[in-house]
Amino acid sequence: MRIGVATFALSMTAMVTAVPCALADHAPNYVVPGRPDVPVIINFFDASWGVVEGEWGLYRPGAVAPTVIPAPYVMPRTQAKPYYPSLGGIPYKGRLEIEPPANRELPPPAPSYHRSWTSESQNLPATEYAPTPPVIIGGDVDYNNDRRRRRRPH
């Protein structure tokens, strides 16, 4: 009896948890455009950053007309006013700008200033080989010379 009740409870739990998994493809879809400057158009509506309900994709195309819930309009941030601490406001421009008088004393001319740069590679050989020790050539020495010992026939 207990085994039958446990089996029934386990089968009911499996069915209850399987139903939401089977309906998971019918949930609303959040629309995220691939590029911010290209809108996502669904049934002649701009659905970028919105929600689409009733769209099942290739599961059942065209079965239900999708409902597009557009994203709320977000006002762009306004530019902050510039801050100029010396004047307290925007610098004067145009006719309000102070022009120096024509007969004022001019500053002395600046000294001449000239610099030049060059770059070049050093003249090196094509390849630089690692230094190796000198090779010593010696005579051929054979300490196990079998020619000195003659074999004697038995």
pLDDT in tens, 79-97: 877 767 776 777 667 766 7
Which secondary-structure segment (H or E) carries 68? strand 67-69
Residue 10 lies in a domain: yes
How many domains are there within the chain? Answer: 1
Residue whose entry in the numeric block shows the structure tokens 């207990």: 2
Residue 154 lies in a domain: no
Q: What is the mean pLDDT of residues 139-144?
A: 67
Q: Is-contact 68 49, C-beta < 8 A?
A: no
Residue 22 lies in a domain: yes
Can you give the pLDDT at residue 108?
A: 94
Residue 130 lies in a domain: no
Residue 114 lies in a domain: no
How many Å apart are CA 17 and CA 20, to the nearest integer? 6
Residue 55 lies in a domain: yes
Residue 133 lies in a domain: no
- The answer, yes or no, to whether residue 24 has pLDDT greater than 60, is no
- 147 pLDDT band (50/70/90 cuts)? low
CA-atom Rg of the chain in angstroms? 46
Residue 103 DSSP code:
T
- Backbone angles phi and psi of 51, in degrees to 5: -125, 135
Can you give the pLDDT at residue 23?
A: 57
Can you give the pLDDT at residue 105?
A: 92
Q: Which domain holds residue 22?
A: 2-69
pLDDT single digits (tens) 94-128: 766 777 888 989 989 999 988 888 888 888 777 87
Average per-residue pLDDT for the chain: 77
- The answer, yes or no, to whether residue 48 has pLDDT greater than 80, is yes
How many Å apart are CA 84 and CA 91, to the nearest integer? 8
- 20 pLDDT band (50/70/90 cuts)? low
Can you give the pLDDT at residue 120?
A: 85
Residue 134 lies in a domain: no
Can you give the pLDDT at residue 29?
A: 83
What is the sign of the dihedral through the CA atoms of 86, 88, 90 and 94? negative
Comparing 75 with 10, which gets the higher pLDDT?
A: 75
Can you give the pLDDT at residue 152?
A: 61
Can you give the pLDDT at residue 109?
A: 93
Secondary structure of 24-72 as H, E, C letters: HHHCCEECCCCCCCCCCEECCEECCCCEEECCCCCCCCCCCCCEEECCC
